Every structure is written in structure tokens, then in C-alpha cells.
Amino acid sequence: MVPAIDILAQNSTRWSDFLWRISARTIHHPAFHAIRGKLPRLKNLEVFSCPSNGDIDQEAQSATGLDIFAECPSLSSVQFSPDLTGGIQFPSAQIRSLGLRVSYTTKALRILSGFPNIASLELFRVGGGKACQNHFISDLKRLLIKATDQNDVSSILNHTTLQSLSVLQISGVTEASAVGWEKWDSVPIKDFLLRSSCRVTTLHLCYLPITSEQTISLLTLLPSLRELHVKERKVNNSCNKIVTGYLLESLQISFCHFAGDLRALIPRLTDLLLAVYPDDLNTDALMRVVTSRWLPDADDAAEAGIDCLRSIVIILRGEKLEAGENCKLSPLLDFRDAGLRVNIESSSS
């Protein structure tokens, strides 16, 4: 292995992206220190370790003090697992994008406090553990949470205040792993938004057990939202229906809005993506959403108090559309001639 490492080290000055998966016990081998100070172009780094004997604490201890990445003048993006490689030293003050994988909340928050200038944070299965007393306050702008249960969502939202947040993405890791996560708790995200007073412009909700009613309630807190992605999930052949007629009706702009009688839900919406299982999809209600929000005339949009819809993507899950095949949403394609970006796709999964 050592000759191979030596060969790699000879080319380290050219690296801009580096994905390193290695045993934490091996990571201190002297051969690895050959790259220290020889990574001038490295911008994106991912360091992951799998415990060789199941003893996570012992593995993590073996990585403590490793400083081969301490001198990387171009490094701006780092991903690692705090429970396994959290002892590695990074030039933390210059990191703008941080990803943490598989960790308890307390340890993750302690790690976050050492990265004062991050603008983007990705969390993969971070949550749970002992009761946490820490609270993370940051000016980061993008938060991505990939969760396997409600704890992974609630833990981070309950212990953070992000006043500059504009992009919020919450996703189940995979639909298969969602078995057992049956209910969505709306309280943590509502408390987080009220506490942070942030101006969220992008929201992605993917493969979550959230209901249409909970989604509508959440959207009422996001008047500046411009981009909305909703992806339904199916667990054990049972679809969690989010894009119901009720949700679509709530997104419609009625004549009452033109008269100033009602405030439109997410009035700044310009980009909409819906990944749905087509059974029971209310296509008429969906058409009314698009028709009512397609107001290319600036005066009409101003009178309605909304921004004109610019893009809509519909992904029909569990279906396979052949090229040129018509589907029940084909009338949406007519909006292309008027200037609306429309995509109707299918996904077999």
C-alpha cells in the first residue's frame, strides 16, 4: 500500500477534489503525511472512515490531531463523519460549505461551533443522543437535512437559529428507510422559522410523512418563497399523499385575490416541482394552479399581488411514459408556446 500512497502524493498538487475513505487506524501512517502542505488546489474534500472493529470511540480517537489537511489554501468545502474522523484538523475559518454525516446532535453542534464562516450546511443522519444544551447561531444561507426519522429533523431545528437562511431542504434518506417514520411533527420547523425570522426563498420537502394540511400550514410562514419542490413517498406500497386537491386549491389564485380580499399563499412562487404518484391526482385543480399563476402581464401580476409562475415540473412516479405518448397532463404543454417552462417526466420508482 505504501508505494501506491507515495505515487498518489507525487500528484497531490494537482488535486482539486479528493474523496478519501479509509480506516481511522490507518490514517496516521507516515506515508500519508507526504501530502501535507502539497494541496494548493484542493477545493472539495470528503473524508469518511468505517470502523474496522465496531468500536467507534476508539476509531475516532485514532484520528485526533491529524493535520495533513491543515494547510490547504483553496479548500472551501469539507464533508466528514464527526464520530469517526472528527479529530482531523481542517482550516476551519476558510470553509464555506460543510457536510456532517452520522452523528449525535451534541457532537455535531460542537463541531459546528468551530466553523464560523460556513454558508452551506448538509446533515446526513445527524440527530438524537443525550439531551443537548448547546445552541448554534449562524449566518449560513443553505441548510440540507437528510433524515431517517423525525429526530434527525427536530434535533437540529430545535438547537439552531439561522437568521440569514434562504434555502431549506429536508429529505428522507431513501423511501425504504422511511419505514417506521409515520408522522411529521410540525412544531420544530415552525418554532425554528419564527425564532430565526429568516427569509426562505427555496423549500424542498422530499419523501417525508408530512400531510397536505401540514404543508399548507408551513407555507403560510414563507411569504417570500420562490421555489417549491414536493416529492411524495411510498412505503410498503402505500403512498403518503401530499399533493391533494386541498393543497392545489390552496395554491390557486382566485378573483378574490385580484379584489384584494385575500392574501395569496406563497405569492412570490415562480418555480414549482411536484413528484407525485398519479393515482387520485386532481389534474383539474393542478391546471387551475398553473392558469391562475400564469400572469405574464406585469400589471395583472401586480393587481393579484403575486409573481408570475416561470417554471413547472411534474414527475409522475411509478409510471413510464414513452416518447410522444400523451398523458392526462398533456394540456399543460400548451403553456410552452406562451413562454412558461413546462416539463412532464416519469419515474418508474
- Domains of the chain (ranges; CATH) run 1-77 (no CATH), 78-347 (3.80.10)
Residue 139's pLDDT band (cuts 50, 70, 90):
very high
Give 17's strand partners. 44
CA 309: distance to chain centroid?
23
Q: What is the pLDDT of residues 67-106, one digit of tens each?
A: 889 999 999 999 998 876 657 889 999 999 999 999 999 9
C-alpha count within 13 angstroms, C-beta hemisphere, residue 336: 9
In what helix (H) or strand (E) does residue 57 lie, and over which residues does it extend?
Answer: helix 56-62
Q: What is the pLDDT of residues 283-328, one digit of tens each?
A: 999 999 999 999 999 998 988 889 999 999 999 988 766 544 557 8
Contact assessment for residue 135 and residue 156, using Cβ atoms and an 8 Å cutoff = no
Contact assessment for residue 315 and residue 342, using Cβ atoms and an 8 Å cutoff = no
Contact assessment for residue 102 and residue 56, using Cβ atoms and an 8 Å cutoff = no
Helices 150-158 and 105-112 sit at what angle, rounded to 10 degrees? 40
* Residue the block writes with cell 392574501: 263
Question: pTM for this one?
Answer: 0.90
- For residue 109, CA distances in Å to 104, 106, 143 come to 9, 5, 14
Contact assessment for residue 36 and residue 71, using Cβ atoms and an 8 Å cutoff = yes
Contact assessment for residue 227 and residue 265, using Cβ atoms and an 8 Å cutoff = no
